Structure 1
């Protein structure tokens, strides 16, 4: 593991600064905190790191109701009580009612894993603080059985955040931080080529023109992301959309063709409709 480095993969275009951040975090064995706009490849990055390091991937997807203790283990006292009432023999071994969490799996994995803690900012503000000790010491105590679960070696930890809320300073100090900037045009063209090998470059060029124009429209609420661009291109290819349609710069037709792949809420669709209406009034 120590000799392997992340250099991106054939399926994932990684910038030089991202490669540096990943390899630094792996070398230091500090949690890699990755922030960026939705759709910039934060979650996929963990998959690609695992593939590059030939390591198993353990995924913990965080929800608003997720508690930190669930990453360690959960004790099902209700099930044990029910089994006791039914006379089930399982009731005599409390281990039958302990469900291992993702951190437990990562700490005891036979092969050093990559642990993804995905969208940590979705949880309660105290969630990161509640994980501090376990991520620092790489161990925790199971009170019901009296055992201590300890990692033989520190797993590679990747933590993603969409920046929906601020993370505590104490948590940030323990992480290696990297912000994935939205891909520039050249990088985006490389990403498109990875997903659509041999795609017509004139089509890509015009599609990127429209895509970045949409992202720069003042007042847009949800800027289209990389994944939405790829969906849009897939539709354009499937519908065999003539290049002339994409070349159309008529301001009275402000909404791009098949815009449902790019614009994901009614406010943004209405914004483009208003722009088209205002342009028509000026004609």
Structure 2
């Protein structure tokens, strides 16, 4: 599949024009697509939707702070082989029985063009991206224990996500096609909401978005609510069947929105809003 179908978003994923361009450019160049953006902007979900849109199998490699690049290639389980040798297991004669394939190996040898997600690459050690450079460039690696060389049948579509927890090496960045997913504007967010809640009352969406974006603009907020948290909040509002006038109310005593636990995720932010509500009440009393 040298020319995959162009990515245009899916029914479940609203892709902006610049995101479509980035995905298709990376697929054409067969460069890894490095995606950054605020948590909750759909970076990880993007790989799932590219997989669906191109009808390609998805392989997911979720990175942790302890993950090593070698694990993406393969791991040799010497402990299991030693244990089996002590038990007289005939499997020990073939070292290949103790080689565990990593996600890159799976992607390189997949029978059809796969999408490989390397999720949250910035969680790993700073050397991790550099340790993958040669394999991603050459699309092959050696298995030293067996002497075999694993070569990619075709370059997989690689999606790499980062939350910007640490800077990535320049040499690694040069080999990627980069895209920053901006936080959705109100029109894009309305389209996202319509996908998740078809036919939702427009007045409810309008009021909810006003409150949501107002919250995100509050100075000193430790964690801004994300798209996924907005969708959770709307789901609760619909489930509780709250009257619209509760959202439309601008009563300072009700500055914290109803069911705010879906939007504000730590006590500092809740206390910030309580403090703002107190100051608003005090100003109101003075007036």
| Alignment TM-score > 0.5, same fold | yes
The C-alpha deviation readout for 1:44-94, integer Å capped at 9, x for no partner, is 110111111110000001111111100000001011000100111111111
Q: Structure 1, residues 114-150: CA drift from partner, whole Å, max 9, x if none? A: 0000010111111101100000001110000000001
Q: CA deviation at 1:280?
A: 1.9
Matched, 1:180 2:181: yes
Q: Is 1:124 aligned to 2:148, yes or no?
A: no
Question: Match of 2:252, SS?
Answer: coil
- 1:191 corresponding residue in structure 2: 192
Q: How far, CA to CA, are the matches of 2:254 and 2:220 in structure 1?
A: 18
Structure 1 distance, partners of 2:266, 2:171, is 36
Shift of 1:189: 0.2
TM-score after normalising by structure 2 = 0.97
- 1:3 Cα deviation from its structure 2 partner: 4.5
Matched ranges for 1:158-169 at <5 A: 158-169=159-170
Q: Distance in 2 between matches of 1:4 and 1:82?
A: 49
Partner SS for 1:60: strand
Distance, in Å, in 2 between the alignment partners of 1:24 and 1:79 is: 44
**Are positions 1:230 and 2:231 aligned together?**
yes
User: Relative to structure 1, is the Cα distance of residues 3 and 95 closer, same or farther in structure 2, using a 3 angstrom cutoff?
Assistant: closer
CA distance in structure 2 between the partners assigned to 1:117 and 1:41 by the alignment: 14
Matches within 5 A, 1:94-133: 94-133=95-134
Aligned to 1:76: 77
Shift of 1:36: 0.2
Cα distance in 1 between the residues matched to 2:227 and 2:251: 25
Q: CA deviation at 1:199?
A: 0.4
**Structure 2 unaligned residues grouped into runs of 5+:** none
Superposition pairs for residues 1-283 of structure 1, below 5 Å? 1=1, 2-282=3-283, 283=285
3-state DSSP of counterpart to 2:59 = strand
Structure 2 residue matching 1:252: 3-state secondary structure: helix
Question: How much is the aligned-residue C-alpha RMSD, in angstroms?
Answer: 0.7
Distance 2:86 2:140 in 1: 34
CA–CA separation in structure 1 for the residues paired with 2:206 and 2:168: 38
Runs (5+) with no aligned partner, structure 1: none
Residue deviations 1:196-243 (CA, integer Å, cap 9, x gap) = 000000000000000000000000010000000000000000000110
Whole-Å Cα distance in 2 between the matches of residues 3 and 187 of structure 1? 26
Count, aligned residues: 283
CA distance in 1, matches of 2:68, 2:83: 25
Question: What is the CA–CA distance in structure 2 between the aligned matches of 1:265 and 1:143, rounded to whole Å?
Answer: 49
Q: TM-score, normalised by structure 1?
A: 0.99
Q: Which runs of 4+ in 1 moved over 6 A?
A: none
Q: Deviation at 1:254?
A: 1.6
